A = this chain, B = another copy of it.
Amino acid sequence: CYCSTFRVDSQVPCDPGLEEQNEDNGNWAKYFAVQYTPNVRCKVPTTEAPQSDGLQRLLPISVLTISMNKVSEGVNDNKLSIAYYREKTEELGKAVLHLTAVEISLDVDADRDGVVEKNNPNKGSWKWGPSGHGAILLVNCDSESTYMKKVDSSTDKVTKVSDLLDMSRMVLRTNGPAELPQGYKLALQISQSDGESIRVFKKRKPEGAMKSLHKIFSMFVKEFPLVLGNDVLSQEVPYVGGSNEVDFFVEGLRFPDKDFGGLVTINLSLLEPSAQDFPETPIFTDKVVFRVAPWIMTPNTLKPVEVFVCSTSDNNKFLKEIKALVEGSGYKLNICKEYMNRGDRWMQDELEFGYIDAPHQHFPVVLDSPRDGKLQNFPYEVLLGPDFGYVTRMASDEKVTSLDSFGNLEVSPPVTVNGRAYPLGRIIIGVAFPTTSQGRNMTKVVQDFLWAQKVQQPIALYSDWLVVGHVDEFMTFVPAPDRKGFRLLLASPDAGYKLFHRLQNEGYGKAKQFDGLGKKHEITLDELLSDKALRAENLYVQNCIDWNRDVLKRELGLDDEDIIDLPILFKILEDNRAAAYYPDMVNMIVLGNKLGIPKPFGPKVNGRCALEAEMCSLMVPLGLSCTFIDDFASYHKLLGEVHCGSNVRREPFKTKWWSLEL
């Protein structure tokens, strides 16, 4: 009878035909009896009660469930034989099964504790949530080398052995005889589309898995050849006898996006040779599933790590004041020199800092804007490096607008909205208003990317009413000790007019806005308040902001008490679009409880700027300290402020993205 390797608890039809015909043609068995070696377990269908003499009545379909309780020490070291009888005394013939038991398991860190466990029952699927399961993969988007650097995933080699730490470990565990039966083999397989999303490298040396991953530092990259990738969707992997483990390292190649949900599957098959020259067929498969980690943004409420600004020919004063604030607060200040920024001072707009996180590894990742001003080389040339990742999206055909700058890409602190929690907050972008089918928008490829990350579901605000068109021109978030742990700050012309009216009524009508900036700027409150055009413009601006206020209240689940209106006026410039009239205090840098706020040059009351005083009276009760930074000449006049001119890398969330309930 044809012999084969059976996987544990597989079934064999006990087919007398083949044997028996040779023995005795024209006769047919009515009974059978089963015998087997000690490690074999055999279940006879209970429907067939054994006869007194231990014989079984042979039914049209008699199925024996055969298993082994111990792996084989040699090929076919176990047997099961079936003797066939016509009458109970007369043996007609025997069928003999030769059995080889092998234990095979492809293992990953499906319980997300940073360690590859053994044969996790959930390794073949992926589930969100604290009680969820499924392994996690990072896009290998950093660069192990700093000289002649490339994003690691751009080559199909292991850049340095340290690169393996950015990959997810996968272990092939086998237990069985010294070799598999003649012609049998093991193979790993991935699908065509997964070939675009992952690569798999293997530790060449077969002498078992590494106890500690730090062992890799004593090894060479050539010891980790590529086994699976875009051009190799299937590859045989060696079987090593006895109880053995082989290390694999899985590399993520792309982030979730419109055309990629983020899940990938790796299959392991035990292949059986076929008669003649037919292809082998698998008789056992195991599979593991990974989800590629999303790119995550960090809100103002997270602890800063380092601050980035540009030095230009004309911003020394600004730099001095920023330096004092940042270093005074105990954070690292990085100054991007002019040879690199080529006069482009808008550090906020060229890039967004985020991070990727897995149980075994995490690092910051910069999202490079399609804006591509003169700062465009900075993210790749300066930021990309060991454990500092880089990702970008190029605007396809559509033209890039000012709304593609990342001053127009922010993220809220964690919120809960009618019972639904967003523990990592929600991304906020600005777009054209739906009532106009024209208008500027954030380019589609970037929007698709942001939505596809899933864990910080985006909110689209209306920012096209501004000349520059960035959400950071009218809103920001600051930490707060009470309520939801933060306040939403909104620019408010109404609050501005209210303050100025009060001052006028208190007799300061002659006090000057832009005080200290010289005659050509200064204007008295009486003049300002009697400017009907300016008032009308600000009524319009207030409407635009109120619209966004409603959206933010609804999408972030905020009450009016969670929102603070800052006294800021706007001015309409070209084609009915607005810009801040005086330095836009909401466009601030938030460093813990220290705020770096554009110096508003408001009217002086008893020698103190009334706008600064108002700002402090609103922030100080929240335990926040205000530092006013003069950005008038070097930023405000160019339609930007402190926030536009800086960027902050922050610590990641304590909350793990895979624990979200999605």
A484 to chain B, nearest CB (A): 19
Among listed A265-273, A422-430, A513-521, interface-contacting one: A265-273
Is A52 part of the binding interface, using a Cβ–Cβ cutoff of 8 Å?
Answer: no
Identity of the chain B residue whose Cβ is nearest the Cβ of A7 in the assembled complex: B550
23 pairs across A/B with beta carbons < 8 Å?
A11-B560, A15-B497, A17-B505, A18-B497, A18-B501, A21-B529, A28-B505, A189-B434, A189-B435, A190-B434, A191-B434, A233-B434, A234-B434, A234-B436, A234-B437, A258-B259, A259-B259, A275-B536, A276-B533, A277-B576, A279-B465, A280-B435, A282-B547
Is B28's CB under 8 angstroms from A547's CB?
no
Could you tell me the distance between the alpha carbons of A267 and B544 in the complex, rounded to whole angstroms?
Answer: 17
Residue of B at shortest CB range from A572? B278
Taking CB atoms and an 8 Å cut-off, the chain A residues in 229-275 that contact chain B are 232-234, 258-259, 267, 269, 271-272, 274-275
In the docked arrangement, what's the CA distance between A607 and B206, Å?
64
Q: Is the CB of A279 within 8 A of B494?
A: no
Which residues on the B side are within 8 Å of A529 (C-beta)? 21
Distance to closest chain B CB from A529 (angstroms): 8
Question: Which residues of B are found within 8 Å of A546, using beta-carbon distances?
Answer: 281, 283
User: In whole Å, how far is A554's beta carbon from the nearest beta carbon of chain B?
Assistant: 10
Mark interface residues in A536-558 (1 if CB within 8 Å of B CB, else 0): 11011001101100000000000
Q: Is A504 an interface residue (CB 8 A)?
A: yes
Residues in B neighbouring A20, C-beta threshold 8 A: 505
In chain B, what residue has the closest Cβ to A258? Answer: B259
User: Could you say which of B63, B283, B502, B533 contacts A543, with CB atoms under 8 Å apart?
Assistant: B283
Q: How many angstroms from the CA of A547 to the CA of B285 in the assembled complex?
A: 10
Could you tell me the distance in whole angstroms from the C-beta of A524 to the nearest C-beta in chain B? 14
CA distance A540 to B282 in the complex (A): 11
**Minimum-distance CB pairs A-B, first 9:** A17-B501, A275-B536, A281-B543, A189-B434, A233-B437, A278-B540, A274-B540, A28-B505, A234-B435
**A155 beta carbon closer than 8 Å to chain B:** no
Is A504 in contact with B21, judged by CB distance below 8 angstroms?
Answer: yes
Q: Are B269 and A435 in contact (CB under 8 A)?
A: yes
Q: Does A13 sit within 8 A of B, measured CB to CB? A: yes
Q: A276 — which chain B residues lie within 8 A by C-beta?
A: 533, 536-537, 540
Q: A28-B505, A267-B434 are in contact. Are A13 and B283 (CB under 8 A)?
A: no
Q: How far is the CA of A572 from the CA of B275 in the complex (A)?
A: 12
Residues A281 and B498 in contact in the complex (CB < 8 Å), given A189-B435, A434-B234, A507-B26:
no
Question: Are A540 and B17 interface neighbours, CB within 8 A?
Answer: no
Bound together, the chains give a CA A509 to CA B28 distance in angstroms of 14
Residues of B near A436 (CB, < 8 A) are: 234, 279
- Tell yes or no: A187 within 8 A of B by CB: yes
A630 to B543, CA, bound (A): 78
Residue A275 contacts which of B190, B280, B540 (CB distance < 8 angstroms)? B540
> Per a CB cutoff under 8 Å, which of B274, B433, B536, B547 touches A539?
B274
A655 in the interface, Cβ–Cβ < 8 Å?
A: no
Q: With CB as the reference atom, state the residue of chain B lying closest to A499.
A: B17
Once the chains bind, are A505 and B26 in contact (CB under 8 Å)?
yes
Chain B residues near A27 (CB-CB < 8 A)? 505
The answer to the question of A397 belonging to the interface, with a C-beta cut-off of 8 Å to chain B, is: no
Instruction: Flag A4-36 by CB within 8 Å of B: 1 or 0 each.
Output: 000000010101011011000111100000000
**18 more A-B contacts (CB under 8 A) besides A21-B501, A281-B544?**
A13-B494, A13-B498, A15-B497, A15-B501, A21-B529, A26-B505, A27-B505, A189-B434, A191-B434, A234-B435, A258-B259, A269-B435, A275-B536, A275-B537, A277-B576, A281-B543, A281-B547, A282-B433
Q: How far is the CB of A133 from chain B (nearest CB, A)?
A: 14
A408-443, CB < 8 A from B: 433-437
Q: Mark A322-341, 1 if CB is under 8 A from B, else 0.
A: 00000000000000000000
Residues of B within 8 A of A544 (CB): 281
Determine the chain B residues whose CB is within 8 A of the CB of A21 once the complex forms. 501, 504-505, 529
In the complex, whether A220 has a CB less than 8 A from a CB of chain B is no
Q: How far is the CB of A154 from chain B (nearest CB, A)?
A: 22
Considering the chains assembled together, what is the distance between the CA atoms of A437 and B539 in angstroms? 65
